[in-house]
Structure 1
C-alpha cells in the first residue's frame, strides 16, 4: 500500500510538472508569436488612443512601438498586455545626455506611472541617430543616463537600446561581410553589458527601389522559390534575411556575437511609386509576418522567431519626405484596412 501511494504521489508530481512545462511553453510560445506594429501619429485625422488599442487587440497584434512617451497612448494600453516600446525623441537627447536628473525626470514622468499596468519592454533612445551626425555625441550618454534612472527606480527589467538604419553598416554584401562603421563600438558594449538587443530598421523596399537593375522583385518580396545569394554555404531566398544577417555579421566582427536583434521597422508602402502598390505591400507584409513568426529564423540564426515591428499601423498624411513615406500604413486612420493582412502565423 505504501509503495502504491508513493507511486501515485510521484505520478501526481510528474503530471503537475508536465502540465506546468506545457503551460509555460504555451505562454512563452504564444508571447513570442506576436507581430508588432509602429504606431506613428503624423496625421490630422487619428482615431482615439482607446480605439487604436482595441484595434490592436482585435487583430492579434501583441506589440506596439511608440515614437515618444505619449501619455494618452500609455493610458489606453493599461491592462492590455500588449508589449510596448517607448521612444525618447531625438529632440530630447541633448538634455538627457547632459543631465542625469533630466533622465530621472523622464523616467519618473513617463515610465514609473505606467510600469505596473503597461507591459513596457524596451525604451528606444532616439531613432536612427547616426543618420544625424549632430546628435551622435549625445546618444550613448543619454542611453547610460536612462539606464541608470531605470536601475535606481528598480525597473532594470526594461531594456534600453536605440534603433539603427542600414547606413550604420559600412559593408552589407554579402551578408557574411557585414561590418559597422567604427564609432558604434560604445553602443555595442552598452547593449552587451546590459543584456539589451540591437535594434535595426530593415527595408527591402528601399534596397529594391534603388537597385532594380540588379535585384528581382521576387527576392525583395519573399517570393523566390530558389536560392538567390549563396554566401559561404548559407543560402538566401529573400533580401530581408540577407539584411538581418549583415547586421548579425557586423556584431560578430565587432566582438559581440550574442547580442539579440529586434527589427524595429520593416514594411512596404501601398502608393507613391510604381513599385509601391497595394499588391506589393500586401505580398510583402503577409510574407514578412509568416516568415518572422515561423521558426525559420535567418541562415545565421536559424530556428527562432524574429521579433519584428511593421511600419506602420496607419497611413500618415503629415509625414515629411517623398510621397511613398505617407503610405506605409496597414490601416487608414478611419481604421479600415488598406489591404487584408493575417497577423497570425
Structure 2
C-alpha cells in the first residue's frame, strides 16, 4: 500500500496536471478560425472537426448555415458562429415569420448539442449599399426570433469591414463613415459585441512603404506610433483601437469587440509569402492569448478568428484571396502554427 505522503504527492501532481490542462484549454479557446468552403476539394466535415480538435482550436465561424457542419460539431465543445447570408437579409428584415423560421430551422435543432455562441447577421453589409437598409431590421427580427425560442444566450450581431471607418489614423481619431448609432444601440441593448475584420496585411501592402514590415508583423520591440498617451508597437492593436475610438465617439465606450477575421496570405503578391504568413499568424495568436489587450483596452483578451482554415481555390478576387489558409485541403499545414500560447 502506498504511503500517505506518496498519495499526497500523486494527488498534488494530478491536480497540477488538471489545472495546467484547464489553463491551456481555456487560453486556446480564445482563438478561432473561419471555415470557408469555397473550394472544390474540401475534406469531409467530420474530418474538419477532428482537425479543429487536434489543434486545440476552440472556436469556428461558419459563414452561412450548413446543417451538415452543425451536425458534425454536435457535442464537440467548439464554440460556433453561424451566419445569416447577405442574400437572406431582405426577406428576414421584412417578415418576422421568416426570421422565426430561420431560427427554428437552423438554430433550434442544434441548440442543445452545439455550442452556438453568435448569430452573425450578414457579412460586411456596409460594403454593399443596396443591403444596408435591411441590416438593422433583420438583426431586430432575428433577435426577436432568438428570444421567442428562449435562446437568449446566443448573441446576435453583424461583422464589419474596416471600410466602415472614414478615418482610422491615428487610432484616437477613428471615426465611422456610415451612421452606426442604430447598430451600436442594438449591440448595447442586447449585450452583444461589435464584430470587426482587421487585416494589417492590406494596410501594409497598400501603404507604399509608409508602414514597416516589422510593425505589421508584430516584430517591433519598441514604440512605432505615439498617439497622445497611447503607444503602439504593432499595427493590429492600432487598427482595433480605431474601431474602439469610433464607438466611443458615438457614446458607446463599453461594447466588447470581437475580431471575426484577421490573417495573412501565403502567396499571391510579393509580400504574401509563407514566411510572412507564418510570422503574422503565430505572433497574432501569441499576442491575443497573452491577454495584453490593446493600448485603449489593456489587460483584456480579444476574441479573435483567423481567416482562414483552408486555402480556397474557388474564391473570387485577386490571387492572394485564395491563399489565406492555415491548411491545404488535404489537411496538411501550409506552415506550422501553434494555437497554444508560447
TM-score range, shorter chain: over 0.9
The CA distance in 1 between the partners of 2:23 and 2:147, in whole Å, is: 25
Q: Does 1:31 align with 2:38?
A: no
Q: Of 198, 218, 231, which residue of structure 2 is paired with 1:235?
A: 231
- What is the deviation of 1:39? 0.0
Give the Cα separation in 2 of the matches to 1:31 and 1:149. 31
Q: What is the correspondence of 1:225-264 to structure 2 with a 5 Å cutoff?
A: 225-264=221-260
Q: 2:76 aligns with which of 66, 76, 80?
A: 80
- Check 1:328–1:302 CA distance in 2 against 1; reply closer, same or farther (3 A cut): same
What's the TM-score once normalised by structure 1's chain length?
Answer: 0.92
Partners of 1:343 and 1:177 in 2: CA distance: 33
2-side partners of 1:250 and 1:336: how far apart?
40
- Counterpart of 1:285 in structure 2 is 281
Task: Tell me the equivalent position of 1:266.
Answer: 262
2:215 aligned with 1:219: yes
1:195 to 170, 191, 196: 191
Query: Unmatched 5+ residue regions in structure 2?
Result: 1-14
Structure-2 change in CA distance of 1:181 and 1:78 (3 Å): same
Q: How does 1:109-128 map to 2 (within 5 A)?
A: 109-128=105-124
After superposition, residues 42-53 of structure 1 pair within 5 angstroms as 42-53=38-49
Cα drift, residue 212 of structure 1:
3.3
Cα offsets for 1:148-203 (capped at 9, x unmatched):
00000000110000000001111111001111124211100000000000000000
Q: What is residue 325 of structure 1 aligned with on the other side?
A: 321
SS in 2 for 1:183: coil
CA–CA separation in structure 2 for the residues paired with 1:330 and 1:239: 21
Give yes or no for contact 2:267–2:273 (8 Å, CA) kept in 1.
Answer: yes
User: How well do the aligned residues superpose, as a CA RMSD in angstroms?
Assistant: 1.5
* TM norm structure 2: 0.92
Q: Which residue among 162, 167, 170 is the counterpart of 1:166?
A: 162
The unaligned stretches of length 5 or more in structure 1 are 1-18
Q: How many residue pairs were aligned?
A: 324
1:201-225 deviation digits (Å, cap 9, x = unpaired): 0000000011032110110000011
